[in-house]
Structure 1
Amino acid sequence: MSEQEATTYDYQRYRQLLSEAVDESSRQRLISLLIVERARDRLEAQRASDRSAMTAETVAKVLGNGRREHLQRG
């Protein structure tokens, strides 16, 4: 899964929050929210990548062991 696939943004929600950010503290909260949500999206993408790598490694081990057993019998 690519990083773009993992990322879903609610632009309408962000637009609303931005329009409500009329003072410094509300703008800071919006910035913090964007940072947290982006970090969460990146973590999700990294976890998906790790799962894929672990699956590929497991498949390679299983196929590799099966091949060795076949060669030893033959």
Structure 2
Amino acid sequence: MSKQDAGYDYNRYRILLAEAVDETKRLELIELMIREKARDRLEAQRTSDRIAMTAATVSRILGPIAGSRRDSYKFD
């Protein structure tokens, strides 16, 4: 069962459930679904981390630029 790696696909799980005719197959299906949910959560966390790192980098790079532009528009 674990050879198929198509993510959460309703038709795929429906087929796997139909094939789970004994206790061993049902347990394999349950383990597969648990592993895939864990994988999806890990991927979501990695995406969130990448976005946060990108935002921090952009802020660090543009921070001094934005600050210098603000200063140049000051009228005394």
Asked if Structure 1 and Structure 2 have the same fold, meaning a TM-score greater than 0.5 normalized by the shorter chain, the answer is: yes
- Counterpart of 1:62 in structure 2 is 61
Q: Does 1:36 align with 2:42?
A: no
Within 2, Cα distance between the matches of 1:25 and 1:65?
61
Alpha-carbon shift at residue 66 of structure 1 (Å):
2.1
CA offset digits 1:12-68 (Å, max 9, x no partner): 110011011111110000000000111111111111111000000001111212245
Unpaired segments ≥5 residues, structure 2: 1-6
Unpaired segments ≥5 residues, structure 1: 1-7
- Counterpart of 2:23 in structure 1 is 24
Tell me the matched-pair count.
Answer: 65
Structure of higher RCO (CA pairs closer than 8 Å, 6+ residues apart): 1
Larger Rg: 2
Residue 40 of structure 2 aligns to which amino acid in structure 1? D
Moved more, 27-36 or 57-66: 57-66
After superposing on structure 2, the runs of 4+ consecutive aligned residues of structure 1 that deviate more than 3 Å are none
TM-score of the superposed pair, with normalisation by structure 1: 0.77
TM-score of the superposed pair, with normalisation by structure 2: 0.75
